[in-house]
Amino acid sequence: MKVMLAPMEGVVDHLMREMLTEVGGFDLCVTEFIRVVDQKLPPKIFYRLCPELQNDGKTKAGVPVRVQLLGQHPQWLAENAQTAVDLGSPGVDLNFGCPAKTVNKSKGGAVLLKETQALYDIVSNVRQAVSDELPVTAKIRLGFEDKSLAIDNAIAIEQAGATQLVVHARTKTEGYRPPAYWDWIARIREHISIPVIANGEIWSAEDAQRCQQQSACTDLMIGRGALALPNLARCIKQHEAPMAWPELAGLLIKYSGYEIYGDKGRYYPNRIKQWCGYLKRQYPQAELLFNDIRRLNKAEDIVKVLRRQSSQEYVA
Ligand SMILES: Cc1cc2nc3c(=O)[nH]c(=O)nc-3n(C[C@H](O)[C@H](O)[C@H](O)COP(=O)(O)O)c2cc1C
C-alpha cells in the first residue's frame, strides 16, 4: 500500500513536507499548485514552490516530491511541465480539483471537470512534453456541480496517457463537507485500468480501511488528516498508535525552528495558528495552545509559549 501526502496550497509547503515525511509513512508528496496562465515560467518559481528540486526532487527524508501544475492552456501547461521535469521533478501532476473562485473564473482547476475534451487535451499535451519514463498524473474531483461526468472524465484522462489518477471523492459544489463518496471511486475504477488513488475524509486508520473497502483502492492520499495527526500514514500502514501530545508538542517546537530559521519566519505566527486549527480535531491540548497564542504576532513570543507549555502541564 502507498500513502501520499496531499497537496495543500498555503498549508503543505516544503517545511511541512520535510517535517511530515520525517515523521514517516509517506511514499510521495505533491507540491502546492503552480499556476500556469500564458507563459513559460522561470525556474525560480519552481524552486520557490518546490525547493526539493535542489535535492534531487526529494525531501530530506528521501520522499519524492512531484510538481503540480494548474491551468487551462494545454500548450503552456506542456511547456511548464517540461521545465518542471528538466529541473528534476519526478513527473508532473495536473490539478483538476481546485474549487477557488479566482482559479475557476480563469478556467483552471475544478471548472475543467465540465469539459471532458479540455481534460483530454491538457493531459495529452503534457504527456507528449514529458519523457515516457516519468509519470504524468492527474487529480480530479467527482465533478463540478454533479457527478454525471465522473466516469467520462476519468476515461478521457486515461486515454490521454495519464499514468495515475487521484480522485478526491466529492464534487466542487460539495466542497470539503463530509461525507466523501468513496463508492464513486470504485465505480470509476471499473472503467479504467491505470492506478487510482483514493482521497478525501481519511482522518484515522479506521477511515482508511473503510475507504479502501468502499473505493476498492489500495493506495491512498491524505491531506487534512495528516495535519491533524502527523503520524497518520504510519497508523494506517503500520498500525502505530496515534502520536501522543508530548511528542507532538516537540514537533511544534521543531517546526518553529524550521520556520524561524528557514525562509518563512514572518509567516510563522499564522502558520502555527492554522496548524493548531487542524490539530484541535485530534488533540484537545491544541485548543488550549491556540487560545494562548491567538493574539500573539511575533514568532519569538509564540515559541516561548510553546516551550513553556510543552515542558510543563501540557505534557503532564
Ligand atoms: C487548504 C487546502 C489547500 C489545498 N490545496 C490543494 C492544491 O494546491 N492542489 C490540489 O490538488 N488539491 C488541494 N487541496 C485538496 C487536497 O489535496 C485534498 O484533495 C482534500 O483536502 C481532500 O483530502 P483530505 O480529506 O485528506 O484533506 C487543498 C485542500 C485544502 C483544505
Which band of pLDDT confidence, cut at 50, 70 and 90, is reported for residue 299? confident
**Is residue 66 in contact with ligand 1, taking CB distance under 6 Å?**
no
Note whether 2 and 28 are within 8 A (CB).
yes
68 is in an annotated binding site: yes
**Is residue 9 in contact with ligand 1, taking CB distance under 6 Å?**
yes
Does the pLDDT value for residue 316 go beyond 50? no
In b/e form, how buried is each residue of 172-200, taking b as 16+ CB within 10 angstroms? bebeeeeebbbebbbbbbeebebbbbbbb
Distance (angstroms) between ligand 1 centre and the Cα of 99 equals 10
**Is residue 166 in contact with ligand 1, taking CB distance under 6 Å?**
no
Distance (angstroms) between ligand 1 centre and the Cα of 315 equals 31
Averaged pLDDT, 290-312? 83
CB count within 10 Å of CB 115 equals 17
Across the chain, what does the average pLDDT equal?
93
Q: Is 98 a catalytic residue?
A: yes
CA dihedral sign of residues 25, 163, 165, 73: positive
200 is in an annotated binding site: yes
159 vs 136: CA distance, rounded Å: 12
Give backbone dihedrals phi and psi of 138, rounded to 5 degrees, phi first. -135, 150
Partners of residue 67 on adjacent β-strands? 92
What pLDDT, in 10s, does the model give residues 192-231?
Answer: 999 999 999 999 999 999 999 999 999 999 999 999 999 9
More confident residue, 237 or 301: 237
What pLDDT, in 10s, does the model give residues 26-72?
Answer: 999 999 999 999 999 999 999 999 999 999 999 999 999 999 999 99
Sorted by where each starts, the structural domains of the chain and their CATH numbers stand as 3-238 (3.20.20.70), 245-315 (1.20.225.30)
CB count within 10 Å of CB 220 equals 26
- Our mutation pick for probing the ligand 1 site, out of 3, 168, 219, counting the most ligand atoms within 8 A of Cβ, is 168
- Our mutation pick for probing the ligand 1 site, out of 224, 281, 282, counting the most ligand atoms within 8 A of Cβ, is 224
Residue-level pLDDT at 178: 97
Cα–chain center distance at 29: 7
pTM of the model: 0.95
More confident residue, 294 or 307: 294
Q: Roughly what angle, to the nearest 10 degrees, separates helices 245-261 and 299-311?
A: 160
Residue-level pLDDT at 280: 94
199 is in an annotated binding site: yes
Residue-level pLDDT at 297: 87
**Is residue 11 in contact with ligand 1, taking CB distance under 6 Å?**
yes
Which range of 103-107, 109-113, 128-132, 242-246 scores highest in mean pLDDT? It is 128-132
What pLDDT, in 10s, does the model give residues 130-150?
Answer: 999 999 999 999 999 999 999
**Cis-peptide into 90, omega within 30 deg:** no
292 vs 45: CA distance, rounded Å: 36
Q: Residue 100 burial (CB < 10 Å; 0-12/13-18/19+)?
A: middle
**Is residue 168 in contact with ligand 1, taking CB distance under 6 Å?**
yes
Averaged pLDDT, 168-191? 97
Helix (H) / strand (E) element for 69: namely: strand 65-70
Which band of pLDDT confidence, cut at 50, 70 and 90, is reported for residue 262? low
**To 5 degrees, how large is the angle CA 191–CA 109–CA 146?**
55
Note whether 37 and 106 are within 8 A (CB).
yes
Atom 14 (ligand 1): residue with closest C-alpha? Answer: 8
Cell of 136: 504524468
CA dihedral sign of residues 162, 168, 170, 175: negative
Distance (angstroms) between ligand 1 centre and the Cα of 147 equals 19
154 vs 158: CA distance, rounded Å: 6
**Is residue 93 in contact with ligand 1, taking CB distance under 6 Å?**
no
55 is in an annotated binding site: no
Task: With CA atoms as reference, report the closest residue to 45 among 33, 55, 56.
Answer: 33
Does the pLDDT value for residue 83 go beyond 50? yes
Residue-level pLDDT at 17: 95
What's the farthest any 2 CA atoms get from each other in the chain? 59
